[in-house]
Amino acid sequence: MRAPRLGGAPRVALLALGGALAACSSEPRASRAAEPSLDTAASSADARARDAMAPTRRVAVTFDDLPANSFLGTTAAFASVTDSLLEGLVRNEIPAIGFVNETKLYVEGVLQPARTAFLRGWLEAGLELGNHSFSHPDISTTPLDEYQADVLAGEEVTGRLMAETGAAPRYFRHPFLRTGTDIETKRAFEAFLAEHGYEVAPVTIDNQEWIYARAYDHAQVRDDAELAARIAVSYLTYMDSVFGYYEAQSRALLGYELPQVLLLHANQLNADVIDPLADMMRDRGYAFVPLEVALEDPAYDSPDEYVGWGGITWPHRWALTAGERGDFFAGEPEAPEFVQEVFRDPPPRPPGPGPR
């Protein structure tokens, strides 16, 4: 299970990042939430200090493509991601949920116990698992019956592991966040999910983390620790701005900030920067909550009639359904060109077993 990380150097450079990010966060703190009604002229310094400390925002942190999304795709690479990520999630008390692609548990058609053990690790850490389909098909290009069969194939191992504690997978995350290009398919699949005991796991904070993560893998395979660290530093600043964008979108659409659902992937980048990433969120005033708690907010019952190719966030689906167009969506942050360049330029694969 334990395996050396692909390259440990960047972590040292990252240790100081939490404080640096806290200092450069641009969000005005006063706008975060209404003051509690008792906190008026009579409030003491102690009460003010307590209010300043209390998280006023909530976020459910979700990871796709378990057991891991990795350029090398080897069992050793999956182990490196899983070990660091789970330790980081527990250390930061983040009640995350991971969405599994069970095809990644197999090598040449044979189920790998070492890979199944990664999923068990999530459950043993007190975290939840959900279904992300077996092989990550696209609902927009796959016949619905095939797509649905793939979803059921995706719960076999996960369901067996969860059954040991009396639980079962109850959330489904659409691959590519695509939900169909016609309303009949979209509604038929929603009915299928409900029939099989699943609730859709929406996303409110989408981002280009997957571009950063793949670029980070490329830099590490090239043994370029300096580049990997530069990518990681840029990632943290970028994610801070992504939160700012989606917080503003929520206020513009709903008049308040809903409990957010953050989409990340189980990859080496997040495994290495989970501490400063968690610091960034805490500094913005977030408490970490389970997905089911975030979804209690009535905003998640908003009408969604969006159909199309876009793998877009749920607030954007609600906004389109409500008739918002054009400028409303402007300003979404993007990964800088230097990251996109590294992303587009994969290194030669090292000798040994190929990608899995």
- Rg (the chain; Cα; Å): 21
Of 131 and 250, the one with the shorter C-beta distance to Zn ion is 131
Query: Own/partner pairs for 154-160, CB < 8 Å, 24+ apart?
Result: 154/100, 154/101, 154/102, 155/102, 155/131, 156/102, 157/100, 157/102, 157/105, 157/111, 157/116, 157/119, 158/100, 158/102, 158/119, 158/129, 158/131
Of 79 and 266, the one with the shorter C-beta distance to Zn ion is 266
Closest approach of Zn ion to the CB of residue 174, in Å: 9
Of 65 and 150, the one with the shorter C-beta distance to Zn ion is 65
Of 64 and 240, the one with the shorter C-beta distance to Zn ion is 64
Closest approach of Zn ion to the CB of residue 131, in Å: 11
Q: Is residue 241 exposed (0-12), middle (13-18) or buried (19+ Cβ within 10 Å)?
A: middle
C-alpha separations of 164 from 34, 124, 129, 195, 312 in Å: 44, 11, 13, 23, 35
Window of 52-60, 77-85, 87-95, 175-183 that interacts with Zn ion by CB under 5 A: 175-183
Tell me: does residue 209 bind Zn ion (CB under 5 A).
no
Closest approach of Zn ion to the CB of residue 136, in Å: 6
Closest approach of Zn ion to the CB of residue 83, in Å: 21
Of 18 and 175, the one with the shorter C-beta distance to Zn ion is 175
Window of 62-70, 106-114, 139-147, 246-254 that interacts with Zn ion by CB under 5 A: 62-70
Size of site (CB under 5 A) for Zn ion: 3
Contact residue for Zn ion among 5, 14, 21, 64 (CB under 5 A): 64
Closest approach of Zn ion to the CB of residue 64, in Å: 4
Task: Lay out the site mask for Zn ion across 135-174 (x = CB under 5 A, - = otherwise).
Answer: ----------------------------------------
Window of 46-54, 64-72, 210-218, 272-280 that interacts with Zn ion by CB under 5 A: 64-72
Closest approach of Zn ion to the CB of residue 267, in Å: 11
Tell me: does residue 65 bind Zn ion (CB under 5 A).
yes
Dist. CA 117–CA 68, nearest whole Å: 12
**Cβ distance 81 to 116 under 8 Å?**
no
Window of 63-71, 102-110, 204-212, 276-284 that interacts with Zn ion by CB under 5 A: 63-71
Cis amide prior to 333 (ω within 30 degrees): no
Query: Own/partner pairs for 34-38, CB < 8 Å, 24+ apart?
Result: none
Of 65 and 217, the one with the shorter C-beta distance to Zn ion is 65
List the one residue out of 343, 275, 274, 277 whose CA is nearest residue 71.
Answer: 343
Nearest to Zn ion by Cβ — which residue?
A: 64
**Cβ distance 69 to 269 under 8 Å?**
no
Closest approach of Zn ion to the CB of residue 216, in Å: 17
Q: Is residue 355 exposed (0-12), middle (13-18) or buried (19+ Cβ within 10 Å)?
A: exposed
Tell me: does residue 102 bind Zn ion (CB under 5 A).
no
Of 260 and 267, the one with the shorter C-beta distance to Zn ion is 267
Of 175 and 315, the one with the shorter C-beta distance to Zn ion is 175
Closest approach of Zn ion to the CB of residue 332, in Å: 19
Residues in contact with Zn ion by the rule CB under 5 A: 64-65, 175
